[in-house]
Amino acid sequence: MKSFITLLCLTGISLIPLFGRAQQIKHQDNNLYQYGITEAFLSGLFHGKLPVSEFKKKGNFGIAAPDMVDGEVIMYNGKVYQTKSTGITTEMPDTAKLPLAFACFFKPDTSFTITHASSEADAFAQIDTHLQHKNAIYAIRITGIISQLKTRTFYPVSSEPFPPIASLIANQKIFNISAVKGTLFGLRVPNYWTGINIAGYHLHFIGDNFKTGGHVIDFTPENVLVEIAEIKEVNIQVPQDSAFSNYSFKTRTP
């Protein structure tokens, strides 16, 4: 962990682990709040501990996983929506809980339009040209018309020990949507964050009608506004439940 913190400092990002009750952090634009550690969640720690009411205090935009992995979550303009495996999207109650969550008070420092992209890879390549620091974390909001969109949600799990996420992919629910208006929001995370966060682009979607959503698997933008904010600081709240406290993280050789 010491070497990891040193690396973050060298890249201009500070890591503040928060043990126990969350510290009160002054609201600053483009500071990323993270609850949970990705590796633990992907391995099957699906019990939500962070109340939605607390998640809302950490930003106005964000993405998260719901308790027991029933779908996907997005925070849009301070409201939190869950798209379930049924495809139904509803606003989440404040009492609902999340096992993994990311949020920030989003204030874009770069914006541009994409009026033509042949694929998701083409869209990401266009976005990459606007990212000044390859080892920075970026929050990204994409709004407008999406010609083709593929999203997914996971079915809920019930029996412990829970399987890892990888084993749920075969049974994920896929939604193929054409000519839809909405918002994609999420993060672009550098590779050295693997295990702590999810490396690469990680986006969730909410339709303008607030009836469609999910984790973005593939999309082709038709006419969209792309807004980007470089994350200044990362604040991680480490879960304190027994499952996390006793979880055995993988040992990585230098």
The answer to whether 195 touches 38, Cβ cutoff 8 Å, is yes
The answer to whether 160 touches 149, Cβ cutoff 8 Å, is no
- Burial track 49-75 (b if 16+ CB lie within 10 A, e otherwise): bbebebbbebbbbbbbbbbbbbbbbbb
Q: CA dihedral in degrees (211, 216, 220, 222; nearest 10)?
A: 40
Q: What is the pLDDT of residues 49-81, one digit of tens each?
A: 999 999 999 999 999 999 999 999 999 999 999
**Phi and psi, residue 168, nearest 5°:** -90, -15
Q: What is the pLDDT of residues 198-212, one digit of tens each?
A: 999 999 999 999 999
Q: Which tokens is 57 given?
A: 């205090």
- In single-letter form, the type of residue at position 53 comes to S
Looking only at the bridges linking them, the beta strands covering 233-238 and 15-19 are parallel
By residue count, the chain amounts to 254
Query: Quick one: average pLDDT of 78-93?
Result: 96
Instruction: State the pLDDT confidence band at 161, using cuts at 50, 70 and 90.
Output: confident
Query: Quick one: average pLDDT of 22-49?
Result: 87
Q: Is 106 left (phi over 0), alpha (psi -120 to 50) or beta?
A: beta
Q: Is 27 left (phi over 0), alpha (psi -120 to 50) or beta?
A: beta
Q: What is the pLDDT of residues 103-135, one digit of tens each?
A: 999 999 999 999 999 999 999 999 999 999 999
- Whether residue 19 has pLDDT greater than 90: no
Domains of the chain: 2-105+233-239 (3.30.1330.80), 110-230 (3.30.1330.80)
- Whether residue 3 has pLDDT greater than 90: no
Q: What is the pLDDT of residues 173-197, one digit of tens each?
A: 999 999 999 999 999 999 999 999 9
The answer to whether 223 touches 113, Cβ cutoff 8 Å, is yes
Q: What is the pLDDT of residue 153?
A: 96
Q: What is the 3-state secondary structure (H, E, C) of the chain?
A: CHHHHHHHHHCCCCEEEEECCCCCCCCCECEEEEECCHHHHHCCCCCCCEEHHHHHCCCCEEEEECHHHCCEEEEECCEEEEECCCCCEEECCCCCEECEEEEEECCCCEEEEECCCCCHHHHHHHHHCCCCCCCCCEEEEEEEEEEEEEEEECCCCCCCCCCCHHHHHHHCEEEEEEEEEEEEEEEEECHHHECCECCEEEEEEEECCCCCEEEEEEEEEEEEEEEEEECCEEEEEECCCHHHHCCCCCCCCC
Q: What is the pLDDT of residue 26?
A: 62
* Average model confidence (pLDDT) across the chain: 90
